[in-house]
Structure 1
């Protein structure tokens, strides 16, 4: 069976880094990772780029360490392809930009680039994301080649992420590429607006975001939003635009134009001509992701194992995870039991990669509903809205028109042609076992756990 081709759209971020480590630790027959597409989100996009470059740096160090210790190098996907790394959106489509540096640290990894600068790669890698001068001396050319050799596991791109995303969808057969989106959906929304038919060549879009029936989580500056999850909150309009592509008539569930917005608006989806297909969207909301935890004690026990202790990845991940465990305990005092904090990290983003690794596993359970994203509410920005009135939903007849609105059904919730069709994950192959899966795959000690 051919590997699942994926594009990872991300804003790393602690759990984003774990998600990418899980993806790159896959076997060659499991995943073919075409691209890492970067967006603002947890931190601003240049910090996200530094974290991705550092991730590849530590994968290189880890593979060398394992080879030296007579262990399989792992990370087989990188033997068959060097994924493209492309920089994308620096801010949301319309709203005021919010980041989650209060949780992830100003650099996205608990501040370790500042507290442990000697562990970060030299910033000569920045030259890889700048146009090459038309003429260079032999010394300059040699210096640039040396930088490329130091960062040989990825292919840097000078094109914006949404353009590379569309290029890859054109180059591959329809329904063969999955986009795994674990940050704000801005890059996806820009790509879909620029060329909706090319974007719809995607097999499916797998999104970590939203809260369907669960409460929201923390947003930027340590403020609580009762109903929204951070990714949908960070760019609710982008989320609404992508969700709308799951509808038979996307223009009917598109967000309204914000009159006060001075930013350039993306064009609406066409209302006069139907798109060739509906987007397949698999949503992983807080309802499901929050129960998948990496306990602090489990992580600490694992990195002490004889075939793991002292490895570059174990030591690097321990740096930012221990900071994160402490931060999580501080922000969630309700987790205190007998004054002993139940420290851990919720594996939000890695869960989407687990799905990409084994989408055919029958244990994955999804519920398909008309889910829409609130974009203009004072208290509800980024909230997911589902009709819980229990009224029957029917397929209407005849052409869609405003005059066909059913009395008392503002928004067309009872006409299946008018609403979105989002499949959200309600169950995984194993809440308790996922932490063990990710530790074994990423840090794999070669022994039975």
Structure 2
């Protein structure tokens, strides 16, 4: 504290200009200290506090395939205070639904944050979502399909639009489709009327900056422009955008402080679809599963292919949706990434990404949030419904919109799990948990276990599975040449030079706390429910 004040006083006394007329290149720790000092003390009433822009200690890029829990994750991120979190970019990928529906959900999310802030101001409440005041996030569209596999979506759960079908059931609540012009090059020689119309669209969507660059390129630009180890990438969808960025410029990608991934299943089973609802012995024809893996006209062959190619038993959706991308990103945690890279199969018709250089300057720090931990964090249906009946919540535009897709999701859960007791029904908060970590990563309660986790990309029954060696054999740094196959150690599982180094989350800040934290931050005044 003394050092911080001494630095500031010395700078102040040596500068003849008024404070308000100049800016300082203040170190981040000093900047945060001064911001908090002036905000929470009597000194904060002077103009001095207004001259300090604080850099949040946690700065993130969110890569997402917005379905229901993705939207909750982004709402939690944007509800953060300016000194807690800074969201630099939202990258869009295919996943829960196809990429244009994902983009529409992101735009709609910002639309309702804007409406919510206006409503809160009109009703004398703090407008919230402070992190959007400091910096508008860039929104960039990325991958439309996986690197090598057939495209798989999860609209059987999230709805055809990713949000329980509300864009179709309540079209009047969706923003006008004029926003699509923001993601297209501006035509030359616009008339005055056209230019005015475009400007109006920009003003209607003022909380984000649309990018014409593909998400992987935009991600690399941000990493280049910032100091190493200052930006965390939070990936809550398939890892295709990240894999493309890492392949294009691995050294720039490795400037990330860490990559936080919602995906995989280590000791827990995967999340396959409910086949008992898709097929029964009494069915006389080939059944149509509730979502499609390939884009073809509906016909018996497509139905058969879809039915036979559901997720493998141990795979989690994000990892399965692009197992090649997941394996490539996980490989960057190895001392020698080329040793755990996925094999190139002869039948693959898509153009493959290039291999990484054999020598890289550093390893990737990857924090994995698998089903093992995310499934334990639940928003109970009864808790949500009770909270939404509070007087100060009922008229909230954001709560009204979110209630529509969350109610549809609770109903879908009941359909998929007919044996579940309604009193204990809830929504698993897979993606939001990663944002809770991003907000509080330094808290010692977060517990991670580091293991050699690899993603299977070619197994008939195991594609998308996270593989860990459970044979209990000691792991040591080997002495034989790296490329040499050691007898009795196929794959190099016993050699620490050859495996991946993934930290997967075992414990959070509190399983029973999280639902209250989420509701309070997003829909309330920031207080935990």
The equivalent of 2:59 in structure 1 is 5
The equivalent of 2:460 in structure 1 is 378
Q: Residues of 2 paired with 1:358 and 1:342: CA distance?
A: 28
Higher relative CO (Cα under 8 Å, sequence separation at least 6) belongs to 1
The equivalent of 1:266 in structure 2 is 353
Contact preservation (8 Å) 2:453, 2:500: yes
- The C-alpha deviation readout for 1:60-91, integer Å capped at 9, x for no partner, is 00000100110000000110111000000000
Which of 90, 94, 97 is residue 43 of structure 1 equivalent to?
97
Superposed, 1:148-227 pairs within 5 Å as: 148-218=202-272, 221=290, 223=310, 225-227=312-314
- Is 2:200 aligned against 1:146? yes
Superposed, 1:268-417 pairs within 5 Å as: 268-271=355-358, 274-334=359-419, 336-337=420-421, 340=422, 342-397=424-479, 399-402=481-484, 405-417=485-497
**374 and 221 in structure 1: CA distance in 2 versus 1, 3 angstrom threshold:** farther
Contact preservation (8 Å) 1:36, 1:85: yes
**447 and 410 in structure 1: CA distance in 2 versus 1, 3 angstrom threshold:** closer
- 1:342 deviates by 2.9
The equivalent of 2:125 in structure 1 is 71
**260 and 40 in structure 1: CA distance in 2 versus 1, 3 angstrom threshold:** same
- 1:446 deviates by 6.7
- The C-alpha deviation readout for 1:298-318, integer Å capped at 9, x for no partner, is 111111112211100110000
Q: Residues of 2 paired with 1:50 and 1:282: CA distance?
A: 29
SS in 1 for 2:182: helix
Which of 79, 85, 101 is residue 155 of structure 2 equivalent to?
101
The equivalent of 1:56 in structure 2 is 110
Equivalenced residues, count: 442
Q: Residues of 1 paired with 2:181 and 2:99: CA distance?
A: 16
**368 and 117 in structure 1: CA distance in 2 versus 1, 3 angstrom threshold:** same
The equivalent of 2:316 in structure 1 is 229
SS in 1 for 2:473: coil
Q: Residues of 2 paired with 1:69 and 1:252: CA distance?
A: 59
- 1:401 deviates by 2.2
- The C-alpha deviation readout for 1:257-298, integer Å capped at 9, x for no partner, is 021111110001122xx1000000000000000010001111
Contact preservation (8 Å) 1:179, 1:205: yes
- Is 2:444 aligned against 1:444? no
Q: Residues of 1 paired with 2:472 and 2:406: CA distance?
A: 43
SS in 1 for 2:393: coil
- 1:371 deviates by 0.2
**150 and 373 in structure 1: CA distance in 2 versus 1, 3 angstrom threshold:** same
The equivalent of 1:423 in structure 2 is 503
CA RMSD of aligned residues (A): 1.3
**150 and 372 in structure 1: CA distance in 2 versus 1, 3 angstrom threshold:** same
Contact preservation (8 Å) 2:65, 2:237: yes
SS in 1 for 2:139: strand
- 1:341 deviates by 5.8
| Residue ranges of structure 1 left out of the alignment (5+ in a row) | none
Q: Residues of 2 paired with 1:358 and 1:332: CA distance?
A: 33
Q: Residues of 2 paired with 1:341 and 1:306: CA distance?
A: 23
Q: Residues of 1 paired with 2:525 and 2:500: CA distance?
A: 44
Larger CA deviation: 341-350 vs 373-382: 341-350
Which of 512, 515, 521 is residue 432 of structure 1 equivalent to?
512
The equivalent of 1:118 in structure 2 is 172
Contact preservation (8 Å) 1:21, 1:442: yes
- 1:189 deviates by 0.1
Q: TM-score, normalised by structure 1?
A: 0.96
Q: Residues of 2 paired with 1:23 and 1:93: CA distance?
A: 29
- Is 2:326 aligned against 1:246? no
**257 and 364 in structure 1: CA distance in 2 versus 1, 3 angstrom threshold:** same
- 1:378 deviates by 1.0
Q: TM-score, normalised by structure 2?
A: 0.82
Bigger Rg, which one? 2
Contact preservation (8 Å) 1:27, 1:77: yes
Q: Residues of 2 paired with 1:415 and 1:197: CA distance?
A: 25
Q: Residues of 2 paired with 1:199 and 1:328: CA distance?
A: 38
- 1:397 deviates by 2.6
Q: Residues of 1 paired with 2:471 and 2:83: CA distance?
A: 45
- 1:398 deviates by 5.7
